[in-house]
Amino acid sequence: MSTHIGAAPDQIAPAVLMPGDPYRARWIAETFLEDPVQYNDVRGMLGYTGTYAGVRVSAQGSGMGQPSLAIYAHELFSDYDVETIIRVGTCGGLSERVGVRDVVLGVAASTDSAMNRARFGDVTFAPAADFELARIAASVGEERLLPVVAGGLFSADQFYSPAPEVTSTLAGYGVLGIEMEAAALYTLAAQFGRRALALCTVSDHLVTGEETSAQERQETFEDMVVMALETIVRMDGRSS
């Protein structure tokens, strides 16, 4: 048991898929995992463990925003010895290099959050994905002919931005998508010396105004979850 996760230490796998929405954790477990067991429902933040292609995998909701994700990621790393977390989420498109239904592989995550100022003072830490995980995920995406674009994410604190000009500036610097969690995940993985990656399907586009239907969103999300699971299987083969 940790403060926010009601699981025994061995109930959580070394590799975790982390959607923002806890119902998506349930959907991942019920759709892709063999013999899924729910290990958490504290605050409705559902978590499950099962196996995929013979490898133990967990699916744990993070909630929305960096403070919420940080609680779960911190406890998974510190109390459950989790080695790898792959965030599977959505983002808003910022760059014309991406369109809706593409998968952004978040190489780095800029943020307007104060969380890293509390950690590093005046130094601007650069939250980045684990290179091995990113490299393997990119290969898996390529082999599966998925529309993967690797580049920067903007982890914003506010969904309803009071300063859209900041987002435009970041888009001008090549940032591909806006979401709300990756920077905290990458920072915590760095703190604990573990691996993390954020994969985000582009659900809507802030510049072109393009949107996806609920069904398209579901299909793209499904392809991306398989990409994340296959990445975990391949990482598992390497480390054992």
Binding residues vs ligand HPA (CB under 6 A) = 90-92, 156, 159, 178-180, 203-204, 206
**Residue 72 or 154 with smaller CB distance to ligand HPA:** 154
State the nearest-atom distance from the C-beta of 67 to ligand HPA, in Å: 15
Which amino acid type is present at position 222? E
Whole-angstrom distance between the N-terminal and C-terminal Cα of the chain?
Answer: 27
Is 204 known to be catalytic? Answer: yes
The residue (of 31 and 158) whose beta carbon lies closer to ligand HPA is: 158
From the list 79, 204, 223, 236, the catalytic residue is: 204
Per DSSP bridges, beta strands 148-155 and 195-205 are unpaired
How far is Cα 101 from Cα 218, in angstroms, rounded to an integer? 10
- Closest residue (Cβ) to ligand HPA? 92
Q: Cα angle at 151 between 147 and 157, to 5 degrees?
A: 110
Q: Output the smallest distance, CB 72 to ligand HPA, in A.
A: 18
Helix or strand (DSSP H, E) at 200: strand 195-205
Close Cβ partners of 161 (under 8 Å, ≥ 6 residues apart): 167
- 177, 104 in Cβ contact below 8 A? yes
Shortest CB 164 distance to ligand HPA, Å = 10
b/e burial code for range 169-195 (CB count within 10 A of at least 16 → b): ebbeeebbbbbbbbbbbbbbbeebebb
Give the residue with the Cβ less far from ligand HPA, 122 or 165. 165
Q: What is the closest distance, in whole angstroms, from the C-beta atom of residue 179 to ligand HPA in the complex?
A: 5
Nearer to ligand HPA, 142 or 211 (CB): 211
Which sequence positions are flagged as catalytic?
A: 204
